Structure 1
Amino acid sequence: MKKYLIAGLVIAFDYRYDTYFKNNIEHYIYDGNKEVDHTIRLNYALELTEPKDGLFRIFSRSVSGVKSYMLYDEGYKNIDIWIDEDTFTDAATAEYIYSGMIFLELAQRHGLVPIHGSAISYDGEVILFAAPSGTGKSTHAKMWKELYKNHVSWVNDDKPLLSFEGEDIFVYGAPFSGQYSSNSNQKLPLKAIVILQQGVTDKVTVLNEKEGLKHLMRNTLRPQEEKLWDHALQSFEKILKRIPMYLLDASLSTNAPKAIKKAIFNE
């Protein structure tokens, strides 16, 4: 079982399918001496029954029974994900979704905050484009890459992780980054958050704290435990006090990235 250093966490993990992980998660391989924080094992069977004892969580069911679940111990140190591959038409996607879901939950338990968005680095600072699925975050981020070439690189194109260290806020890449594995093993300071809405004007509006909080709450992964949600809300307060947030009425033309870049960098 290989070890990976992802967003400061050492995860022991092995995958079966190459579809999402090959030429992706290898960038996070860790060969240092830091203790493993969590071990995630993937197990497959042609038929599953609901566990009778121990700590477990059912992920999905079919008419005939359980399709997937996880077993775990106190502190989530050891996690076993079980998948009935006979009930999934695409076991590779199931493997990726469930392991990513668990990793994001573990990240939250370590104080990180995942945001549903596309994060790019522009000259070493992160601009995070957040919006519901289908709004065009990836398309907008790609336009930055096309326009500004070597100034821009991917950090994470699905759920970048925010880390709070003293007065500073950083963004981590992670190998769980959507269909095209657009991510990099980086930790960079957060410069700005841009809320995208589909439009035609490319108008940029600076959001106040109340509006910013509303969008942050909509675009984060809400944890199941209230204490973790309370931590997320405290983290949002830090973001709102330190990081500018903008609303972009984004068209599909290159005027959109030009307009928001001008606002962010006071050009």
Structure 2
Amino acid sequence: MVVIHMKKYLIAGLVIEFDYRYDQYFKNNIENYIYEGSREVDHTITVKYALELQKPTSKLHRIFSKSVSGLKAYMNYDENYRNIEIWIDEDTFTDAATAEYVYTGMIFLELAQRHGLLPLHGSAINYKGDVILFAAPSGTGKSTHARMWKHLFKDDVSWVNDDKPLLDVTSEGIFVYGAPFSGQYSSNTNDKKPLKAIVFLQQGITDNVQKLNEKEALKHLMTNTLRPTEEALWDQALNHFEQIIKEIPIYLLDASLSTSAVKSIKKAIYNE
């Protein structure tokens, strides 16, 4: 028997009605975002499965994946992305739970962009009420570096999001939301905190910290953001980048795998 978990969630200010089949990534995670208020639903995301997918008949669809034998995954949507169906041929995936998580997360991040939020590829921690965001390509060690902060500073550190934190760039300041799409582990908090600094990591041995100029900061921000598919969303992202660069210090850390890397960047951020 298939159990459908259709519930409302408040994620980064958006009310999402969503169902999922597999507990691997969502159980003991997305429940922290359950919404029981009266606000109208912004978007509904429904995941459906079939042993063989038929060609989409709707004009508004996007194919995610296909093989020689046919379609593996696609989505149907309406004009405002209010209602989204994600179809997955679970027989073609060795890990259908991961496929479900990846596709729903990808769509949620695109919806967040349409609501003015900026997803960055990184690990964001809450240190004494400040968000410090460590950004880098996969495999560079940003999660490892973030865990070293937790090791050193214990209860002063908690996760915001360990994969794609969402930046809310406003006239009152720049804030970071947690979300349940946070990588392999449930390393996220349903919270919104002010952004203190962005640290781009490169694997190294010196633990040298360099404060980036505007040109270098923009290059790193563009490299590590979720790339919008529409020109208007790119314009929005560029405006966000401009404000972030003006208001938030951005650093490059030549990070070793030791706690001295943490001490070096903490000293730079807090002028210690």
Q: For residue 108 of structure 1, what is the aligned residue in structure 2?
A: 113
CA distance in 1, matches of 2:228, 2:250: 23
Is residue 145 of structure 1 aligned with residue 159 of structure 2? no
Q: Counterpart of 2:15 in 1: which secondary structure?
A: strand
Deviation readout 1:52-77 (Å, 9 max, x if unpaired)? 33311100001111111000001100
Q: For residue 231 of structure 1, what is the aligned residue in structure 2?
A: 236
CA distance in 1, matches of 2:18, 2:86: 11
1:14 Cα deviation after fit:
1.0
Deviation readout 1:226-245 (Å, 9 max, x if unpaired)? 11011001100000000000
CA distance in 2, matches of 1:250, 1:228: 33
Is residue 242 of structure 1 aligned with residue 247 of structure 2? yes
1:220 Cα deviation after fit:
0.3
Residue 171 of structure 2, aligned match among 166, 169, 177:
166
RMSD, aligned CA? 0.6
Is residue 176 of structure 1 aligned with residue 176 of structure 2? no
Write out aligned runs for 1:51-200 (5 A). Answer: 51-200=56-205
CA distance in 2, matches of 1:20, 1:107: 20
1:164 Cα deviation after fit:
1.5
CA distance in 1, matches of 2:101, 2:172: 34
Seq. identity, %? 77
Number of aligned residues: 267
CA distance in 2, matches of 1:91, 1:164: 35
CA distance in 1, matches of 2:58, 2:144: 47
Aligned partner of 1:83: which letter? I
Structure 1, unaligned stretches of length 5 or more? none
1:15 Cα deviation after fit:
0.7
Q: For residue 222 of structure 1, what is the aligned residue in structure 2?
A: 227
Aligned partner of 2:190: which letter? N
Given that 2:122 and 2:134 are in contact with CA atoms closer than 8 Å, whether structure 1 keeps it comes out as: yes
Instruction: Calculate the TM-score normalised by the size of structure 2.
Output: 0.97
CA distance in 2, matches of 1:161, 1:174: 8
Is residue 203 of structure 1 aligned with residue 203 of structure 2? no
Aligned partner of 1:127: which letter? I
CA distance in 2, matches of 1:54, 1:250: 48
CA distance in 1, matches of 2:15, 2:193: 19
CA distance in 2, matches of 1:142, 1:93: 24
Is residue 15 of structure 1 aligned with residue 20 of structure 2? yes
Moved over 4 A (4+): none
Deviation readout 1:153-196 (Å, 9 max, x if unpaired)? 00000000000221400000000000012000010000000010
Q: Counterpart of 2:180 in 1: which secondary structure?
A: coil
Given that 2:169 and 2:244 are in contact with CA atoms closer than 8 Å, whether structure 1 keeps it comes out as: no
CA distance in 2, matches of 1:45, 1:54: 20
Is residue 5 of structure 1 aligned with residue 35 of structure 2? no
Q: Counterpart of 1:76 in 2: which secondary structure?
A: coil
Aligned partner of 2:212: which letter? L
Given that 2:90 and 2:96 are in contact with CA atoms closer than 8 Å, whether structure 1 keeps it comes out as: yes
Q: Counterpart of 1:162 in 2: which secondary structure?
A: strand
Aligned partner of 1:62: which letter? S
Residue 252 of structure 1, aligned match among 248, 254, 257:
257
Instruction: Calculate the TM-score normalised by the size of structure 1.
Output: 0.99
Structure 2, unaligned stretches of length 5 or more? 1-5
Q: For residue 265 of structure 1, what is the aligned residue in structure 2?
A: 270
